[in-house]
Every structure is written in structure tokens, then in C-alpha cells.
């Protein structure tokens, strides 16, 4: 019986809340019955005002026409301007078999020591895969066709071939120094 009474009170409260909500929707919270004519009068006054004048359109500028007359000049995107003798200069050998250390960038290789003496000096170079390779002059390493030209106690000197941006190749010196422990 107590559960039935609770349900009845709950239904009665919900009904009162619903009636109050619907009553509030019918009128604004701060409105009184005389506000609607004032609002209508204000809207009518605003509509009766003349519209502000529009700004004039900006004046269109006249641009000078340009006639392209350089058909007889050199094409800036062709290689015809290069000296044919430059084509026989430096360039990587595409038929040379790649050596194991050419798959790594030069800055990822570490010189960890040397073996031998004098002209028989070999460098010990560790690759990123933690494999140590013996390097002598004439070997290749790095991704820019770097050819080892000298092995010293504290460094390996190389000459890399890099593109010059105009279809040719330049030699660039590089080195790998012995890591300090």
C-alpha cells in the first residue's frame, strides 16, 4: 500500500510540473501582457527608417597587358645550354656492385678503431646493425657513392659524389672520426 501511495504522489507531482512548464512556455519569463504592443511598435519604427546608403564599388584598376616575345630565347628548363664536355665528367658508376656499407647514411656509421700499421692500416667501422666492417682505401660507404681515399689512426677520409643541381656531379670531401670512448 505504501508503494501505491508513493506512485500516486509521484504522478501528481509530475502533473503539476507539466502544467507549470506549459504555462511558462506560453509567456516569456519577464513579459507582461502589455509588452507585445511595445515590441510591435519598435519593429515598425526600425522598418520605417531609411536604409543606410551603400558604399560605392571600388574602381577597377587597369592592368598593363604583356606580350611574351621570348620564343627564340633559350628554354630555361632544357639541358641544351650545358657544355657537351660536361657530360663526360664525374658521375656514379651504375654498373659497380654496391658494397655493404653503402646502404647506410654516412652519419650513421661509426669508426671504432684501426688494425695494422702504415700503408696496411685498416679502419674498423660499425654499421647501425652493430656489425663491424674492415675498411681500406678504395672501399665505398655511405649513400652518396663515398669512396675511401685514406685511413688514418683517428679518421677515415672519403670523397662523395653529389648532384650539383644542374644535371652534373660534384666531389665533396667527408670523413668519419674515431669515436671517443
pLDDT at 79: 61
Residue 128 lies in a domain: yes
pLDDT at 134: 92
Residue 53 lies in a domain: no
148-179 pLDDT, tens digit per residue, is 999 998 899 999 988 888 778 889 999 999 87
Residue 67: pLDDT band by 50, 70, 90 thresholds? confident
Domain span at residue 153? Answer: 106-177
Query: 136 — phi, psi (to 5°)?
Result: -125, 165
Residue 135 lies in a domain: yes
Q: Give every CB contact of residue 28 below 8 A, 6+ residues apart in sequence.
A: 35
Number of structural domains the chain divides into: 1
Percent of the chain with pLDDT over 90: 23
Question: Strand pairing partners for 171?
Answer: 161
Residue 60 lies in a domain: no
Residue 64 lies in a domain: no
Mean pLDDT of 54-63: 89
Residue 30: pLDDT band by 50, 70, 90 thresholds? low
User: Cβ distance 14 to 6 under 8 Å?
Assistant: no
Residue 76, pLDDT above cutoff 80: no
pLDDT at 88: 52
Residue 76 lies in a domain: no
Which CATH number covers residue 158? 2.30.30.830
Residue 128: pLDDT band by 50, 70, 90 thresholds? very high
Residue 25 lies in a domain: no
The Cβ of residue 125 has, within 10 Å, a number of other Cβ atoms equal to: 23
pLDDT at 178: 85
Mean pLDDT of 90-97: 86
Whole-model pTM: value is: 0.51
User: Cβ distance 161 to 92 under 8 Å?
Assistant: yes
SS3 content of the chain, % helix, strand, coil (to 5): 30, 25, 45
Residue 140 lies in a domain: yes
Amino acid at each position: 500500500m505504501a508503494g501505491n501511495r508513493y506512485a500516486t504522489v509521484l504522478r501528481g507531482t509530475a502533473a503539476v510540473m507539466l502544467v507549470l512548464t506549459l504555462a511558462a512556455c506560453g509567456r516569456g519569463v519577464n513579459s507582461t501582457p502589455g509588452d507585445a504592443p511595445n515590441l510591435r511598435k519598435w519593429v515598425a519604427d526600425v522598418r520605417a527608417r531609411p536604409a543606410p546608403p551603400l558604399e560605392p564599388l571600388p574602381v577597377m584598376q587597369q592592368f598593363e597587358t604583356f606580350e611574351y616575345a621570348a620564343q627564340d630565347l633559350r628554354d630555361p628548363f632544357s639541358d641544351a645550354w650545358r657544355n657537351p664536355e660536361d657530360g663526360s665528367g664525374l658521375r656514379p658508376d651504375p654498373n659497380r656492385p654496391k658494397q655493404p656499407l653503402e646502404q647506410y647514411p654516412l652519419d650513421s656509421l661509426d669508426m671504432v678503431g684501426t688494425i695494422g700499421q702504415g700503408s696496411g692500416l685498416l679502419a674498423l667501422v660499425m654499421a647501425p646493425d652493430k656489425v663491424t666492417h674492415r675498411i681500406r682505401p678504395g672501399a665505398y660507404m655511405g649513400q652518396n657513392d663515398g669512396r675511401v681515399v685514406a685511413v688514418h689512426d683517428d679518421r677515415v677520409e672519403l670523397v662523395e659524389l653529389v648532384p650539383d643541381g644542374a644535371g652534373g656531379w660534384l666531389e665533396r670531401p667527408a670523413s668519419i672520426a674515431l669515436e671517443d670512448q
